[in-house]
Chain A
């Protein structure tokens, strides 16, 4: 195994503008978090795409699986009353 393969994988999140959420833009290899931040700057914000970068160890990300979607989200489908459109109000007061 070459030493390059042993570099840790980092996920990169960029905030494009103040006030907006950081968005996942991709990942990269780096020897530590500080380096990852610099590589991310060079790699993902060459055209001023962002005002702030987060890097996170990929191994620290715990993700739900799409195959689990059924048990994860199914109960939500039969709860239409969680949506505003479920309540029919007359036009006179319908700007709520």
Chain B
């Protein structure tokens, strides 16, 4: 391709025109190398987040307070594994292998949502994760249903549909605690206090500071800016906090009549940087656990391959 400079420019122009016209890019289409790379980065980060996100919730499956809560949590964690699979497979349509993606996760080149580096300390955290973490993810994912890459957009449609119960079960579970004994209500408040700020950080840095945002918006990989999405999340969540009778852990949170939106306090960006660069409460645990699970599952993958080759030999004989 490189010896035809002009034609590559033309290709790029046609590509951008297609994106501008709200048409999807499909796997066999020509696309700029940087678009492909950017997508692999974002989609694999999304997939890794689904997988690593199973850890803080999985932590409570064996200790769920009732059988119903346990079945619900199992179903949710199972969904997250499935969502990772959709996303890994969609990423692989860009010409990268699953092994390469896992390797990048293990050696730290690939990131995942930094919120999963926080521990789930009490049962109330499970409600808070469903309500706030899935809630924030849904705000983001709804806009990604219109992302420019076809396989990613279609995976998002399926994920959003399946995920509709994740947030509701979390909120329902917190409603029980918030209307329970003073101790239970305190648990709910404590969970909100610890998960609120990390949930806001899920939307990433302010628009001006976001490394990939401008190009991603031009390519319509991203459809709304970090700050727009964060504001939408805050505006939809504040009434839900009030309904629970809990207090948002932000003394500067205030309804702005003029904007028709909430004004909020500044996020601790030092903490954000620290956690994203590997120094959160659970970063090492999360990756160690993933490496361990991956290594311990090797015999299953080996067995599948051995079975397949035996079957093939039998057919050939």
Binds B, one of A25-33, A66-74, A86-94: A86-94
B282 at interface by CB-CB < 8 Å: no
Selecting from A4-12, A34-42, A57-65, A75-83, the interface stretch reads A75-83
Say yes or no: A87-B243 contact (C-beta < 8 A), given A81-B75, A96-B167. Answer: no
With contact pairs A18-B150, A87-B172 given, residues A92 and B239 touching in the complex (Cβ less than 8 Å): yes
- Residues of chain B within 8 A of A52, CB atoms compared: 26, 28
Q: Are B168 and A96 in contact (CB under 8 A)?
A: yes
Name A88's closest neighbour in chain B (CB-CB). B172
Q: Is B202 an interface residue (CB 8 A)?
A: no
CB of B68 within 8 A of CB of A93, answer no
Interface size, B (range) = 20 to 34
Query: What sequence of 0s and 1s flags, for each residue 77-92 of chain B, a beta carbon within 8 Å of any chain A beta carbon?
Result: 0010000000000000
CB distance from B175 to the nearest CB of A (A): 8
Q: Is there contact, CB below 8 Å, between A84 and B164?
A: yes
**Which residues of A lie under 8 Å from residue B243 when comparing CB positions?**
90, 92-93
Contacts of B172 in A (CB 8 A): 87-89
| CB proximity of B303 to chain A, nearest CB, Å | 20
* A87-B75 CB under 8 A given contacts A92-B239, A92-B243: no
Q: Is the Cβ of A96 less than 8 Å from the Cβ of B135?
A: yes
A89 in contact with B23 given A81-B68, A81-B71 (CB within 8 Å)? no
**Of the candidates B26, B165, B175, B236, which one forms a contact with A82 in the assembled complex, judged by CB atoms under 8 Å apart?**
B165
Q: Take A79-B75, A92-B239 as given contacts and tell me if A18 and B23 are in contact as well, using a CB distance cutoff of 8 Å.
A: yes
Q: Is the interface of A mostly helix, strand, loop or mixed?
A: loop
Residues of B with C-beta under 8 A to A93: 171, 239-240, 243
CA distance A50 to B167 in the complex (A): 38
Residues of chain B within 8 A (CB-CB) of A96 are 135, 164, 167-168, 171, 240
Asked whether any CB of chain A lies closer than 8 Å to the CB of B72, the reply is: yes
B275 at the interface (CB under 8 A from A): no
B171 touches A19 (CB 8 A): no
Chain A residues in 8 Å Cβ range of B165: 81-84, 86-87
Q: Does B154 touch A at the CB level, under 8 Å?
A: yes
Contact of B72 with A81 in the complex, beta carbons under 8 Å = yes
Contact residues in B for A18 (Cβ distance below 8 Å)? 23-24, 26, 150
- Whole-angstrom distance between the alpha carbons of A89 and B239 in the complex? 13
Does B153 belong to the interface (CB within 8 Å)? yes
The residues of B with any CB-CB pair to A shorter than 8 Å are 23-24, 26, 28, 68, 71-72, 75, 79, 135, 150, 153-154, 162, 164-165, 167-169, 171-172, 175, 236, 239-240, 243
Q: A19-B23, A90-B243 are in contact. List 14 more A-B contacts (CB 8 A).
A: A18-B24, A19-B24, A19-B153, A79-B71, A81-B75, A81-B165, A82-B162, A83-B165, A84-B168, A86-B165, A87-B165, A87-B171, A89-B172, A92-B239
Closest 5 CB pairs of A and B: A19-B24, A84-B164, A87-B168, A18-B24, A84-B165
